[in-house]
Amino acid sequence: MKTRDIVVIPGDGIGPEVTQAVQRILEKAGASIEWIEHQAGLTALASGADVMPQETLDAIQHYGVALKGPCTTPVGKGFSSVNVQLRKKLNLYAAVRPVRSMPGVKTRFENVDLVIIRENTEGLYSGVENEVTPGVVMSMKVASEVACTRIARWAFRYATHRQRNKITVMHKANIMKLTDGLFIRCAQQIHKQEYPNIAYQETIIDAGCMRLVQDPSQFDMLLLENLYGDVVSDLCAGLIGGLGVVPGANIGDEHAVFEAVHGSAPDIAGKNVANPLALLMSAVMMLNYIADQHGDEGARAVATRIRTAYDQTLEDGCKTRDLGGELGTDAFADAVIDRLG
């Protein structure tokens, strides 16, 4: 693998412990990375900076790729969300969350294999909220043809490259006729005009969630607007063992930030019990992204090596507490390192 400068944001809560575990595994696996460390969230605030410091954004823009731990945004103190700012300011419009059954992790369903694509810049995350009159507040849901078409095209292109065969849009266009109506119209158009060979379906989101928990094998890729994507990601995490095993990528045309779906989990922070796997899997996605972007097959080989090692670790019954095991964060990382071929 060619040496790369990559920004790392350890984040808050369990962020620093899982990030450190992942960096250790990457190094032992032979990933040649110079980490450029920057802060965001509470850690940034504590050092006197903004929750989303401009220099962190500048660094990601400069280096192009970041690995990010979860960041906390203080609630109700006038701060806008770290994640929302990051995604909007860097135009990381596509969130990708692969959800697959993990070896050795017993859940209600076997062989779950879904990919969630979430629109990352609009919807109810517009941040436009008003008090219309005392006692009446409103939040604005925004949808633009440009963003709806862009995410639909991105999803179909991903489906083509990854040999996925069906995209299902989950929506509530029967109620939000304009916003969700636009979202499905743009998806229909991209399907019809550009990707007729990929199967396309729509489902009203409430019924879709019921079908998901009854039989996830009915679905392949899910395409959702921002808030639905957030909620359905956690629902799907529940199908395969929880938030400790769902990675994520936020991708734009020029930059990409890789982070687990889970938050900073303050309830277990600092106890060396958090599962580092979701961030490790996000790092594997990052290596594959680098391989695709730069034709660096060395990066892909490191990714495969790590993936084989963590699959083997789970198969051998070495698990953290959230998956029914007993290992702490560091011990799990050691177990993965022991299995690097």
The residues annotated with a catalytic role in the active site are 125, 172, 206, 230
Using rule CB under 6 A, residue 267 touches ligand ATP: yes
Using rule CB under 6 A, residue 44 touches ligand ATP: no
Exactly one of 51, 190, 249, 274 binds ligand ATP (CB under 6 A); that residue is 274
Measured from each CB, the residue nearest to ligand ATP is: 263
Whole-number Cα distances in Å, 40 to 45, 50, 55, 58, 202: 8, 8, 10, 12, 37
Using rule CB under 6 A, residue 116 touches ligand ATP: no
The H or E element that residue 33 is part of is strand 33-37
Using rule CB under 6 A, residue 282 touches ligand ATP: no
- Cβ nearer to ligand ATP, comparing 205 with 278: 278
- Cβ nearer to ligand ATP, comparing 143 with 261: 261
Task: Kindly give the pairing relationship between strand 33-37 and strand 249-251.
Answer: unpaired
Exactly one of 322, 325, 332, 334 binds ligand ATP (CB under 6 A); that residue is 322
Using rule CB under 6 A, residue 209 touches ligand ATP: no
Using rule CB under 6 A, residue 259 touches ligand ATP: no
CA nearest neighbour of 2 among 44, 35, 32, 47: 32
Number of CB atoms found within 10 A of residue 64's CB: 17
**Dihedral angle computed from the Cα positions of residues 198, 236, 246 and 191, in that order, rounded to the nearest 10 degrees:** 20
Exactly one of 6, 67, 99, 278 binds ligand ATP (CB under 6 A); that residue is 278
Using rule CB under 6 A, residue 263 touches ligand ATP: yes
Whole-number Cα distances in Å, 160 to 63, 210, 290, 296: 28, 27, 19, 21
CB 29 within 8 A of CB 90: no
Binding mask 225-244 for ligand ATP (x = CB under 6 A): ------------------xx
Number of CB atoms found within 10 A of residue 161's CB: 9
Using rule CB under 6 A, residue 265 touches ligand ATP: yes
Whole-number Cα distances in Å, 210 to 7, 173, 206, 236: 39, 17, 7, 12
Applying the rule CB under 6 A, the residues between 2 and 41 that interact with ligand ATP are 14
CA nearest neighbour of 248 among 260, 237, 256: 260
Exactly one of 81, 250, 275, 313 binds ligand ATP (CB under 6 A); that residue is 275
- Cβ nearer to ligand ATP, comparing 21 with 221: 21
Give the interface with ligand ATP as residue ranges (CB under 6 A). Answer: 14, 243-244, 262-265, 267-268, 274-275, 278, 322
